[in-house]
Chain A
């Protein structure tokens, strides 16, 4: 059990401060009965509570020890800030936990899966309660932004255990904070690509998306066919329109297309419609300007207009309501009713229903540049972990014996190049159709820099404000993008000015 040290509590400190203040007010003001009573009752209550708390924890431990194996240290693992809490992934992570617990008797690993939508709130509550988990992950940069200052420095643990960092070839430096602490070891990387449904291309008689990049990141679509042309977002939109079909069999490129009765969509940004992510598909950049104001990069604005047009004018990409509808059921590509999606390698997590009908192709360029958005995941140890050594022992297991299993669950490519081959071998077992992994690996060369998950000042508030922009973009056909952007920029600039 990760019993918490008294020092990690903040609420009690606040209470003490408030109680002292109340006493002071009573003493100075005199005759303020209510404040006096409160302080008294609270003091006596907390005195009684301390003894009770002590006996209570004893009871708990005793109860737990009798049911679990001997006197093992409990290490709690929190899954949900990033990938890992999807239906398909839970069972397989449970297997890893069981295997670890069976392999030794000193540590009892306990896993908690929290759905991504509430994971941040739950973790916040746990931390505020002084009940933080020991291991948090897999978590990307975004998760670490939200909980800055909560992670342990791993360097002493690495030194103590003799963990070898050399295979990572310096890539761990992304997890070094401004203060010099190393808060993560790279575990998985997730470049992006175009996942496409071969059956839907066949039905439309269209050539597949290109399978490789030129040195400059460009590629050509449909070489030697009537559709030949440079593979850019314009071309993608043109193909997507042909791949969008209504119930009468009319496609979005024809005049007869009925947007009220769409049966199949040509394209979607799957689970990557956060405005910073969506914008980066057209070019890397950042919101925060050197003068401290907020400004959307031009490429981002263009990407919003491009996608908004594709969703609402052309009807070749699903809006939010269509995404949530029975037809697409929230996981659009997996439904078999969307021909292409742009997403990360982790999407191999959630594609089981589609069978062998899919493959991965090249991403299109915008203005001659290619961006393959990159996610990187790691496991972190909370700074209040009662036994960081035990937690790090679990991390070592994750990075060694369990690495391939876990990477497989998350669809993450090993950050260590030396174990990539066996990783893709296991993916090939799962997807025997022969997926073109090379094209998505090649995306590493064109990773977004700065990364779209780079932190910004007042991250929590700023991020919430930016995300608000997502719903109208996806669901409001009349949304004035320029005006919306101006509002976000003004709000962020004001927020950052304090």
Chain B
């Protein structure tokens, strides 16, 4: 775990360590004590709010615990029953499939759209860049429930403005929230309201590319595409990597938007029933908290593995050599 998360070179620890080496033993001990003291809140929280509930949750996944006792059943250990059910439950398969489909649509959009917008907003040919940055960030400030209230009526295929707009262009609007084929694209569309932060950090990254590099490349006769591929992309790939990680972590927790818009059963016909909603329904609607714990843990394992894989893949496509600290 350590190597995965701190990456190939953790400058900070080794750096500060080598710097202070040579200090006296007592000084070092004193420093360690102070350091641990400062970190204590986190360590306490880690044990109380993460490790303990995690262990409890794991133990729970081996019981038949029900949130509300509807059939006078005693709590008992059931071995791997819940875990076997995770692998055979068609709802789990559907939930994973929905989540995967959404991820395949959303990850590219949540990377390329902010990048394009950032490109546009850093253009020298744009008037009022500050105002545009403000406006593209604005929806990120809209509280989630309020945003859902807006989108729910905005996307109504009969009277919502989006459908009217499409009709005005002569297109036949699909039933965004009611059609199994369209509900995920509709959720991706809603997700674009959250690009503000990514746009801002892409802008910072684009502005951070040294102009000498562009000039040097231009002297070599590089075209626009080659400029992007050979200069811009290597410089912004750490940001892109960060953005993909954040999106992926967000996907593992993606729940409220489909829950509020489409209900816990993920209308229509489970087309928007994400894995997280399967968990929620089992735990809070059917009260099967033991099975719910197994579902949640399985999800944790998957997200953890994917993140680890992504960190591993970083060495093939993320360029750190330009970043000095």
- Note whether A and B form a binding pair: yes
Interface residues of A (CB under 8 A from B): 10, 13-15, 17-18, 21-22, 34-35, 37-38, 41-42, 45, 117, 120-121, 124-125, 127-128, 147-150, 319-322, 324-327, 460-461, 464, 467-468, 471-472, 475-476
Q: Given A322-B158, A471-B268, are A121 and B285 neighbors across the interface (CB < 8 Å)? A: yes
Q: Which of B39-80 contact A (CB under 8 A)?
A: 47-48, 51-52, 55-56, 59-60, 63, 65-72, 75, 77
Q: Which of B274-301 contact A (CB under 8 A)?
A: 281, 284-287
CB distance from A79 to the nearest CB of B (A): 19
* Contact present for A38 and B178 (CB under 8 Å): no
Q: Given A10-B69, A22-B59, A38-B51, are A326 and B156 neighbors across the interface (CB < 8 Å)? A: yes
Number of A-B contacts (CB under 8 A): 106
C-alpha gap A325/B152 in the complex (Å): 10
B28 within 8 A of A: no
Q: Which of B127-142 contact A (CB under 8 A)?
A: none
Cβ-neighbour of A476 out of B72, B263, B268 (below 8 A): B268
CB distance from A489 to the nearest CB of B (A): 15
B185 within 8 A of A: no
B230 within 8 A of A: no
For the complex of A and B, 8 pairs with smallest distance between CB atoms: A325-B158, A326-B159, A325-B159, A471-B268, A475-B178, A128-B67, A18-B59, A471-B267
Q: Given A18-B56, A42-B52, A464-B281, are A147 and B158 neighbors across the interface (CB < 8 Å)? A: no
Can you add 9 more A-B contacts, CB < 8 Å, to A117-B263, A321-B156?
A: A14-B63, A14-B65, A15-B56, A149-B69, A149-B70, A150-B70, A460-B70, A460-B287, A475-B179
CB distance from B263 to the nearest CB of A (A): 7
C-alpha gap A15/B159 in the complex (Å): 51
* Contact present for A471 and B68 (CB under 8 Å): no
C-alpha gap A41/B44 in the complex (Å): 10
Chain A residues, Cβ within 8 Å of B281 = 464
Q: Is the interface of B mostly helix, strand, loop or mixed?
A: loop
* Contact present for B157 and A321 (CB under 8 Å): yes
* Contact present for A471 and B269 (CB under 8 Å): yes
* Contact present for B47 and A37 (CB under 8 Å): yes
* Contact present for B47 and A321 (CB under 8 Å): no
B175 within 8 A of A: yes
* Contact present for A471 and B178 (CB under 8 Å): yes
Chain A residues, Cβ within 8 Å of B267 = 471
B265 within 8 A of A: yes
Chain A residues, Cβ within 8 Å of B66 = 10
Q: Which of B232-282 contact A (CB under 8 A)?
A: 263-265, 267-270, 281
C-alpha gap A18/B72 in the complex (Å): 20
Can you list 11 A-B contacts with CB-CB less than 8 angstroms, sorted by A residue number? A14-B65, A15-B56, A21-B77, A121-B264, A128-B68, A147-B68, A149-B71, A321-B175, A326-B159, A460-B287, A464-B285
C-alpha gap A251/B268 in the complex (Å): 30
* Contact present for B56 and A321 (CB under 8 Å): no
* Contact present for A41 and B178 (CB under 8 Å): no
